[in-house]
A and B are shown apart, each in its own frame.
Chain A
Amino acid sequence: MKLAVLGAGAVGTAVADLAGNYDHTVTALADSSSAVVADGGAGDGHGIDAAAALEAKRAGEPLGEHDPTDALEADYDVLVEATPTTLGDAQPGFGHVERALERDRHVVLANKGPVAERFGELRDLEAASAGTVRFEATVGGAIPVLSTIEDFDPDHIGAVRGVLNGTANFILSRMAAEGLGYEHVLAEAQDLGVAEADPTFDVDGTDAALKCVIVANVLADEREYALDDADVQGIENIPGSALELATEDGQTIRLIGEVTPAGEVRVGPRLVPEHGTLAVSGTENIVQLETEHAGRLNISGRGAGGPETATAVLADVGRLPER
């Protein structure tokens, strides 16, 4: 398939980089200021030179000579939307999806905004289009959370819970293991590149909440969820003494996101058994699905990162119907 990749952050560049390994061709790649677009005519399998464009970007130069909007109008089968997640109106990501669907193209999202904040509208646009929307990469990075729910059928999944933010999990597991304070471990995580310079959405629970909202949207029959529907608490400034008291009792604290059987979306620090399934350490993520006929299913792995998330994007591309 021919892919146009919007967003040249960790995920977008990894998709451009790995697409060839999956027999796909990248025909456009854009960041917020410029784009590189293949000049081949329709039906031409000739793609862009992604490596050269990314090399230019690393050197501080534009990706290419085109305007970012040219990528949206390029020749492609699938739009990969990997621009940064935005809340509220979820723009500009939502507009990109809208345009691709108008053109009857498929869309694969790594951007959580449109699926978390405007799910109903997105589904309506999809219904009016010959294109299909998929968004595995928005929840749990490389872990196949949404496709597993799809395979099991959302009607036969009672509840979903798990650790969905690697940064928060790194901070909590390191605080517990080393007896260090919150600020200290956060600074360390930033040095290691585990936490971003502005880690707000990771530590205040927003990122995990967006993922749970997306899961809730997939599970729900009627109701539509947005971030405002989630009850969210973060781990900011959690004292080391709290982890100490938990450990004394054979437990530990993890930032757990859940979609309950009653359809509530909750994210917050929770006590879990210290050596239990949910107490993954470091940046690992885990998701537990309560299935109707098959008990509990645990899936864990890397929940973030460029190649990891790109793997989920490319898996989605592989699930799309031929155009």
Chain B
Amino acid sequence: MRYVDEFRDPHLIRQAAAEVRRKADPERHYRFMEVCGGHTHSIYRFALEELLPENIELVHGPGCPVCVLPMGRTDDGLALAGRPEVILAAFGDVMRVPGTHGSPLEHKARGADVRMVYSPLDALKLAEREPDRHVVFFAIGFETTAPSTALTLIQAKARGVENFSVYSNHVTIIPAIRAILDSPGMRLDAFIGPGHVSTVIGCRPYAFVAEDYGKPLVVSGFEPLDLLQSIVMLLDQLAEERAEIENQYGRVVPWEGNPAALRAMAEVFELRPYFEWRGLGFISQSALKLRPEYAAWDAEERFDTPGVRVTDPKAAQCGEVLKGVLKPPQCKLFGRECTPERPVGALMVSSEGACAAYYNYVHRRSEAEAAAAARA
């Protein structure tokens, strides 16, 4: 329990960890999936797996938006940036995502007009400041960020800003969970439900996980204590042969979600018939496109994009890691060709990606320990 002492309440953490050990049936093997990149980050940062008994395995699900975005989508966004009139505006994580011919940041270095923004509203403001150019906002994220893009588009339409459009790569979490549950060889026992996505969608949409698939799901906060408490709640459900949706993060997540955010999304977006996810393949009705009423602000309607499916670099095994078939260090490129400084695969880009989280904490820790051992 090396990292416990730096927690706010080491005593509570030890208690919760002991409770997990007491409640885990030694005869069973548990596989719990977290479907939120923030949880993945937290789990590695706090070395939570070291606090768990060996028969509880945490499987890192598709909760990191840039990780699940197939390379062809990045290429399409970059093709837009190649147009002379276009300024491509993107979040920091997107700036570093590898496309076939480099990341947006590398395209920028070669002369493309790519700007980093922290909010879609800044992309809209950029368009208003540069009326002779056309600003495309590279929108990405689950339901945590989709309402923000929706409200930005509502503003753009209300103000009649014509030189602004959105290249939507927004995805929705529910169809991804369903696809995982439907995948052959699925061996998960339960889910740790996402924290911030649930502030928008609430807890009700997860009901099918319990009702149709008989799996428990607990919406969880991000602190180590939250995650341990959520694991205890899952163990209790499994021991009592219950399958329910429970909310451990009630101090932030209302059961009903945020109705205003859901209304804004419903006004602007509709479901795409299907969308490709790295590792999971094509999932029907799993992503958002702009409604016909917003076609004038839809970058994919205004401009032609290549729309080509692009496979990941051959040696990179991002898809296998995303599916949980491989652990990050089992990929041939991990820590050698592919590092957070020079990511080959998308999972190395974001702090929420399983590979970057593993590299930044587990890999660096063991390297530091090896160096210390060599000095001793």
Do chains A and B stick together as partners?
no
